[in-house]
Amino acid sequence: MPEPVGAYSPEAQKLFSAQELDLKVDELERKRQDQAPRVQLAQLHKQYVANKQKLAEVRSAIDASQAQSDTMSSDLEALDAQIAREQKKLQASKAHREVEALSRELDGLAAQKNEREERAMQVMENRQGLRTMAAALEKKVAELASAVQQGSAAVKDRNERIVAKQTELAEQSAALLETLDPGLVQAYRALKGASLGAVAVAHYQQRRCGACSVMLPQSLIPAIEAAEALYRCPSCHRILIPAPDEDDAGDGGDAAAEGE
Ligand SMILES: [Zn+2]
């Protein structure tokens, strides 16, 4: 005959109710440890950093383009001055050869000016495109910054709510266990252990262990059914508690514990 784990009393049902609360605490702990919200937040942050980096690059390209335009316009000014000088020379020229040579030079300078002006225009247009890109990136960076902030507040809030609910449930469980025999509670705690979702107490129903479904040995049945003491399942070692009478309509305790 195995050693009983405690004396039987109707109060022992509280052990099962406490376990239901503790299992909810475990379930919440799993939820709390779920990395998905943090992973999502990290991805959002990564996007934010990447877009901010891209924005910095575009801004520096705008600066470089502005510097290029500045150089180009001083080059153009120098070219204009050269053209003006050559034109003055042309006006003062009498010799046919000199006039021809100066005219050719001025044609060449005009072509050069035309080409440089076109390039300057391209650089300016390109810069306009970069500015449009920068504006879009600024908007995106601001949106992502706010999403990261909201996301991180949501993760924090979620954790706080989970911990608050866990504390509440653990207190309810502790209050139930407090009323029970300390030896029985100790056996329960040892079986429940630290692993999430571990089951320490099972109902026995129709001569079977409610946790592992093993058929309980004949030698144990009379003692269990006489409700003399609480025994462990010989197979899974869980504490066996009589299942509440199925005649008990409603089973309010379970229903209340199920609601989240
Ligand atoms: Zn069992």
Neighbours of ion ligand 1 (CB under 5 A): 209, 211-212, 233, 235-236
Q: What is the mean pLDDT of the chain?
A: 91
| pLDDT tens per residue, range 18-77 | 999 999 999 999 999 999 999 999 999 999 999 999 999 999 999 999 999 999 999 999
Q: Which of 151, 146, 136, 133 is nearest to 42 (CA)?
A: 151
The lowest-confidence range among 71-75, 151-155, 193-197 is 193-197
| pLDDT tens per residue, range 79-97 | 999 999 999 999 999 999 9
pTM of the model: 0.73
What domains, with CATH codes, occur in the chain?
Answer: 6-33+176-258 (no CATH), 36-160 (1.10.287.1490)
| pLDDT tens per residue, range 209-248 | 999 999 999 988 888 888 778 999 999 999 999 887 755 4
CA 209 to ligand 1 centroid distance, Å: 5
CA 18 to ligand 1 centroid distance, Å: 19
Q: 3 or 124, which is more confident?
A: 124
Cβ atoms of 52 and 99 within 8 Å: the answer is: no
* pLDDT (0 to 100) of residue 255: 43
Is a pLDDT exceeding 80 seen at residue 2? no
CA 237 to ligand 1 centroid distance, Å: 6
CA 172 to ligand 1 centroid distance, Å: 26
Is a pLDDT exceeding 50 seen at residue 253? no
Report percent pLDDT > 70 for the chain. Answer: 94
Residue-wise DSSP of the chain: -PPPSEE--GGGHHHHHHHHHHHHHHHHHHHHH--HHHHHHHHHHHHHHHHHHHHHHHHHHHHHHHHHHHHHHHHHHHHHHHHHHHHHHHHH--SHHHHHHHHHHHHHHHHHHHHHHHHHHHHHHHHHHHHHHHHHHHHHHHHHHHHHHHHHHHHHHHHHHHHHHHHHHHHHHHHHHHTS-HHHHHHHHHHH-SSTT---EEEEETTEETTT-PBPPTTTHHHHHTT-EE-B-TTT-PEEEEPPPTTSSS-HHHHHHH--
Q: Rounded to an integer, what distance in angstroms lies between the CA atom of residue 105 and that of residue 113?
A: 12
CA 200 to ligand 1 centroid distance, Å: 10
> Residue 42 CA to chain centroid, in angstroms?
6
CA 211 to ligand 1 centroid distance, Å: 5
